[in-house]
Amino acid sequence: MSLAQVDPEIAGLIAAEERRQADTVKLIPSENYVSKAVLEATGTVLTNKYSEGYAGKRYYEGQQVIDQVETLAVERAKALFGVNHANVQPYSGSPANLAIYLAFLKPGDTVLGMGLPFGGHLTHGWSVSATGKWFNPVRYSVRQDTGRIDFDEVRSLALEHRPKLIFCGGTAIPRTIDFPAFAEIAREVGAVLAADIAHIAGLVAGGAHPSPVGHADVISTTTHKTLRGPRGAMLMADSDEHATALNKAVFPGLQGGPHNHTTAAIAVALKEASTDAFKAYAHQVVANAKALADELLARGFDLVSGGTDNHLILIDLTSKGVAGKPAAQALDRAGLETNYNSVPYDPRKPFDPSGIRIGTPSVTSRGMGEAEMRQIGAWMDEVVTALAKGDAEDVIARVHSEVSELTAGFPTPGL
């Protein structure tokens, strides 16, 4: 029986979400549209199979097909990113990062990571995360005057605290990550350097952002976001020693059988990411982000670090007289989907911060270019300005109508 027959309520909600995704301008930088092929691979009978262990070394029989699926995903990851080893089994980005801790640290060991308010991730040692509770976290920040990482501070903290693990990368970093600079500091203090490229993996694969390969000891990434795959994760390394430690940390250290339907979809996404069309996509993501940033700057928005080098823009709305949460909610009602976000040195609380975070992966997947980015910037300005004046609903309704007209001309991949 079909989903609509078995559970019409869930089927209706899925249909409603499909309509919502088609009708809105998706600007959340961690979201994207997967292809029809990735969707098809995700919803297959591979979800029926349990496969504890790794290809050729399983604890269950009947792995003749699954081993081939996982091997394809691993080999494609190695080829795409130019690494010697890849593990495609982590369920998502946070478990993948937790595996790095299990592989190389003991509880109480010191980890140096970017603080969450400055663009880092929860799993880089933030206080509410298990990584901040079970280990000794030390955090670096960004300069208040430039919004960029101060490597003198990173080196000073590393020399003072001698961490065993250093994380670079994060979730709200609009500038190129200087992997060689982090690697030099890690070598100086004898730390393992982990590059978390979850946000920029697609840009790295497409040649639109420098690669951490050859600099970082370990690379973690999700497989969605700019990589346009399913919700999953990968861990990569060059040395046999690091790869062995990571494999043991993932299984049996943290999880049982991998999600084979996700593994297949990862393999499909990696194949897509190896094409010239994907390389063009990755570069267009950056071009679109720069165009959108320029439009926002011209309209008086305060962008953290003054702009972007990648797919992501972080906006401090303080000068506009509105906070991030009501701005994000108003923009959502106008069909412009963002997320409210803390900005560096934010005086407001995380659940009611000063900023919003936007990005261009999804709109670029729909085929939009610089002209559409300028229009999106204009709409954002109209909504935020009206919100600051206290009378935004008429503007929101008009903008939503105009957004719907735009999205009708740019079909959503896979839907």
What is the per-residue pLDDT across 47-65, written as a single tens digit (0 to 9) for each? 999 999 999 999 999 999 9
The answer to whether residue 12 scores a pLDDT higher than 90 is yes
Provide the β-strand partners of residue 87.
235
Instruction: Give the sign of the dihedral formed by CA 193, CA 197, CA 201, CA 204.
Output: negative
Task: Give the angle 228-84-109 at the CA atoms, nearest 5°.
Answer: 85
Q: Is residue 105 within 8 Å of 135, Cβ to Cβ?
A: yes
For residue 196, indicate whether it is catalytic: yes
Q: Is 283 known to sit in a ligand binding site?
A: no
For residue 70, indicate whether it is catalytic: no
For residue 231, indicate whether it is catalytic: yes
The answer to whether residue 144 scores a pLDDT higher than 90 is yes
For residue 262, indicate whether it is catalytic: no
Name the active-site residue from 50, 67, 184, 248.
50
Provide the β-strand partners of residue 137.
111
Q: Is 120 known to sit in a ligand binding site?
A: yes
Banded pLDDT at 380 (limits 50, 70, 90) = very high
Q: Is residue 311 within 8 Å of 289, Cβ to Cβ?
A: yes
- The shares of helix, strand and coil residues in the chain, as percent rounded to the nearest 5, are 50, 15, 35
Name the one residue in this structure whose structure tokens are 């992997």.
179
For residue 140, indicate whether it is catalytic: no
Please report, rounded to a whole number, the percentage of residues in the chain having pLDDT higher than 70. 100
Q: Is 116 known to sit in a ligand binding site?
A: yes
Task: Give the angle 99-104-105 at the CA atoms, nearest 5°.
Answer: 95
List, for residues 92-117, the tens digit of each pLDDT value: 999 999 999 999 999 999 999 999 99
CB atoms within 10 A of CB 180: 11
Q: Is 193 known to sit in a ligand binding site?
A: no
Q: Is 241 known to sit in a ligand binding site?
A: yes
Name the active-site residue from 225, 325, 357, 366.
225
Name the active-site residue from 24, 110, 123, 222.
222
Count CA atoms within 13 Å of residue 99 on its CB side. Answer: 33
Q: To 10 degrees, the CA torsion angle through 397, 331, 373, 206?
A: -140
Please report, rounded to a whole number, the percentage of residues in the chain having pLDDT higher than 90. 99
List Cα–Cα distances, 312 to 28, 167, 173, 315, 352, in angstroms: 9, 19, 7, 10, 20
The answer to whether residue 415 scores a pLDDT higher than 90 is no
For residue 225, indicate whether it is catalytic: yes
pLDDT of residue 414: 86
pLDDT of residue 309: 98
Give me the domains of the chain, ranges plus CATH numbers.
40-273 (3.40.640.10), 285-408 (3.90.1150.10)
In this prediction the pTM is 0.97
